[in-house]
Amino acid sequence: MKKEKSKKRKTNSLDIEQILLRKRQLFLFEDINGKSAKTLIGDLIALDSLNNEPIILWINSRGGTVSDGFSIIDTMEGIGSPVITVIVGEACSMAGVISIAGDRRLMCEHAIWMSHEMSGGIEGDYTSKVLDRVGFLKKEQEKLTDFIKKHTKLTKEELMKANKGELWLYPEECKEKGIIDGIVKQIKGNK
């Protein structure tokens, strides 16, 4: 059997992944699904088991499923380490919701944040199942809206826009609306 080459990046014999983990730097740069949530949750729990120093979660994601997103949020809120979220690129949909769950919330100056109503994913089911699903989806949408309302200063009108279309915001707007605590203009590695 051939040995598979490791997908870990190395520079001058240094394992970049290990360096970042030692510096407590985690990344959410893919769709939020069961696989990505499991990996991130495992990393959060592992780092928290070492000590309770801050963990930095870099976010550049289009979003994903509500249940997988809230599993990440529940873990962030349940561990002893503070989690600092940093939006670099975009935090859309469920990724935007995760970003506001940070103990400290930052955003790079060229990043964007977006919220919209959740997708129902109903297709090809029997009418009775669809009706049951609609009730569930209404409750999930309310949970999302309540979470966003609790963690931001978005107005009722802005929440309605997010629930009936898409609400796109740049860093200054996000700061004004309590989505983030500050704007990152320069990224420095912590030593």
Domain at 127, CATH number? 3.90.226.10
Q: Give me the domain span that covers residue 141.
A: 11-184
Confidence of residue 186 (pLDDT cuts 50, 70, 90): confident
Confidence of residue 116 (pLDDT cuts 50, 70, 90): very high
CB within 8 A of 99, min separation 6: which ones?
Answer: 59, 85, 87, 91, 105, 107, 113, 179, 180
For the whole model, what pTM was predicted? 0.87
Inside any domain, residue 99? yes
Active site residue 116: yes
pLDDT reported for residue 136: 86
Active site residue 93: yes
pLDDT tens, position by position, 136-182? 888 989 999 999 999 999 999 999 999 899 999 999 999 999 999 99
**Residue from 116, 119, 128, 151 carrying the catalytic annotation:** 116
Residue 113 near residue 79 (C-beta atoms within 8 A): no
> Which residue reads 């510096």 in tokens?
23
pLDDT reported for residue 175: 98
Inside any domain, residue 89? yes
Inside any domain, residue 149? yes
pLDDT tens, position by position, 54-108? 999 999 999 999 999 999 999 999 999 999 999 999 999 999 999 999 999 999 9
Inside any domain, residue 76? yes
Q: Rounded to whole angstroms, how far apart are CA atoms 111 and 96?
A: 11
Q: Rounded to whole angstroms, how far apart are CA atoms 26 and 47?
A: 10
Query: Residue 64 has what DSSP assignment?
Result: B
Inside any domain, residue 60? yes
pLDDT reported for residue 137: 85
**Residue from 81, 93, 99, 115 carrying the catalytic annotation:** 93
Inside any domain, residue 190? no
pLDDT reported for residue 123: 60
Closest CA to 71 of 123, 107, 35: 35
pLDDT reported for residue 189: 61
pLDDT tops 90 at residue 29: yes
pLDDT reported for residue 191: 46
Inside any domain, residue 111? yes
Number of domains comprising the chain: 1
Task: With residue 147 as reference, give the H or E element that holds it.
Answer: helix 127-151
pLDDT tops 80 at residue 20: yes
Inside any domain, residue 191? no
